[in-house]
A and B are shown apart, each in its own frame.
Chain A
């Protein structure tokens, strides 16, 4: 069974860069059928898509975050990562990694999520 697990700091200072990694087990990131994506959910609020990456390295970003976001993939480790710069209080959220089906673009497997708090 496919599993995704986010890892990274739970606390980030304002203006710093957040780095999160998603480790994929029970499947491979090298697949022509899937994107690998990041989403987030501020406490008590709705879901926001951040960006995706294909195993080839091709990326897609939410235009509202494009200037601050980098998503990368490490096929040798079966991982993909998120970097979000210039963190602010408004970036406090649960961050999820998820698998997205290429053809119809729904998210079929999700990680458990990790809460990232931005505070000095």
Chain B
């Protein structure tokens, strides 16, 4: 299975901050990398698909970049509703594995 490693595991931020979360794959996955946001007691929500494409209804302060093995999710001008856990997921291989998550608090 392809292993996905996110860093950091958690980070402290304030409203208005710009933050970045990285995700590294154990092998090249081209651009088959997706990002999800999960709030307590809720299902994950798609933010970014195919490394850099914004999901439907997702605010433009979210952006994604990268290809191959290294990817980044950036949130600019952090809003109160952005405090959550963020997961990356590779959809290149089967099973489609997830990173361990990054908690933004």
Tell which of B49, B87, B94, B96 touches A46, judged by Cβ atoms closer than 8 Å: B87
Chain B residues near A96: list those with CB within 8 A. Answer: 43-44
B74 within 8 A of A: no
Chain A residues with Cβ below 8 Å from B95 are 49, 62-64
Provide the main secondary structure of the chain A interface: loop
Residue A74, interface by CB 8 Å: no
Q: Which of A49, A106, A113 contacts B97 (CB 8 A)?
A: A49
CB pair B98–A106 under 8 Å, yes or no, is: no
| Least CB distance, B52 to chain A, in whole angstroms | 12
Distance in Å: Cβ of A113 to nearest Cβ of chain B: 5
Number of chain B residues whose Cβ lies closer than 8 Å to a Cβ of chain A: 24
Q: Is the interface of B mostly helix, strand, loop or mixed?
A: loop
Do the beta carbons of A106 and B44 come within 8 Å of each other? no
Q: Which of under 10, 10 to 19, 20 to 34, or 35 or more describes the interface residues of A?
A: 20 to 34
CA distance A63 to B95 in the complex (A): 8
A97 CB to nearest chain B CB (Å): 10
B50 contacts the other chain (CB 8 A): yes
- Scan residues 41-73 of chain A and give those whose CB is less than 8 A from a CB of chain B: 46-49, 60, 62-64
Indicate if A105 sits at the interface (CB-CB under 8 A): yes
Question: Counting CB contacts under 8 A, is B45 at the interface?
Answer: yes
B55 within 8 A of A: yes
CA distance A65 to B50 in the complex (A): 27
A contact residues around B43 at 8 Å (CB): 96, 98, 110-113
* Contact status B100-A46, CB under 8 Å: yes
Q: Which residues of B are at the interface with A, using a C-beta cutoff of 8 A? A: 1, 32, 34, 36, 42-46, 49-50, 55-56, 87, 89, 91, 94-101
Beyond A49-B95, A62-B95, A106-B34, 7 extra complex contacts between A and B, CB < 8 Å: A46-B87, A46-B100, A49-B96, A64-B95, A106-B46, A110-B43, A110-B44
